[in-house]
Amino acid sequence: MKYSEHFDKLCAALDGPGAFLVVEDKIGRVNVMTIGWAQIGVVWGQPIMTVLVRPSRHTHDLLSKASHFTVCVPRPGGMQKELAYCGTRSGKEYDKARVCGFTLKEGYGHKVKYIDGCELVYQCELYGTTDLAVETAAQPAVSRYYPGGGDIHTVYFGKIVKAEKF
C-alpha cells in the first residue's frame, strides 16, 4: 500500500487506544511499547514516520542503537488489553511480546519485526533523531506534558520502507 493510504486509521488509533512501537535490540530481543504520538509525512524527500519517545523509557535506549523499527496498528477495538499492558510495563522488566502472546513476523530484509494480527504495519529504517526543547514548545503543551521541565521526548524519524494493510 502507499504509506499515506490509511492515514485516517493511524490517526484514529493514535487518538484512541494507541499503536505499538516495536524495536529489536542487537542480540535479538524485541521490545513493544504503546505509543499515542506519531506522524507521517514527507521529510528530506522521503516518506517518514516520526515517533516520540521519552529518554526515561527503555525503548529510547533501544531506538538510539537500532537501525529499524515498526509501528503496528491493531484493528479498531482490537488488542485493547495488550495496548494497555505494553503502555504500563517496562521492557527492562518484562518480555511484553511473550506475555501478550504476540506472534512476531520478520519484516523488511529480516531487519525488523512486526506484530502479526495488526491491521496496519509501517516498517521503518531509522533516518534521524532530534530532541525536543521546552524553550521551543508551545506553553500549553509544556504545561500539560512537561510540568517539571524534564524528560522531554526525542523525535525519531523512520523512513517508511514498507507499509502494509492486512
Q: Which helix (H) or strand (E) holds 157?
A: strand 154-165
Q: Tell me, what CATH number does 52's domain have? A: 2.30.110.10
Please give the tally of structural domains in the chain. Answer: 1
Per the domain annotation, does 1 fall within a domain?
Answer: no
Q: How many CB atoms lie within 10 A of CB 120?
A: 22
Per the domain annotation, does 59 fall within a domain?
Answer: yes
Per the domain annotation, does 2 fall within a domain?
Answer: no
Q: 88 with 118: CB under 8 angstroms? A: no
Per-residue model confidence (pLDDT) at position 93:
95
Residue 28 three-state SS? coil
Q: 22 with 74: CB under 8 angstroms? A: no
Give the C-alpha separation, 148 to 73, whole Å: 31
Per the domain annotation, does 108 fall within a domain?
Answer: yes
**Among 25, 35, 73, 68, CA closest to 158:** 68
DSSP string, 79-119: SHHHHHHHTTS-TTT--HHHHTTPPEEE-GGGS-EEETT-S
Per the domain annotation, does 21 fall within a domain?
Answer: yes
Per-residue model confidence (pLDDT) at position 148:
87
Q: Which helix (H) or strand (E) holds 137?
A: none
Q: On the CB side of 25, how many CA atoms lie within 13 Å of its CA?
A: 13
Domain boundaries, position 14? 7-165
Full-prediction pTM beyond 0.75?
Answer: yes
User: pLDDT of 1-14, one tens digit each?
Assistant: 999 999 999 999 99
User: pLDDT of 45-97, one tens digit each?
Assistant: 999 999 999 999 999 999 999 999 999 999 999 999 999 999 999 999 999 99
**Among 34, 108, 116, CA closest to 75:** 116
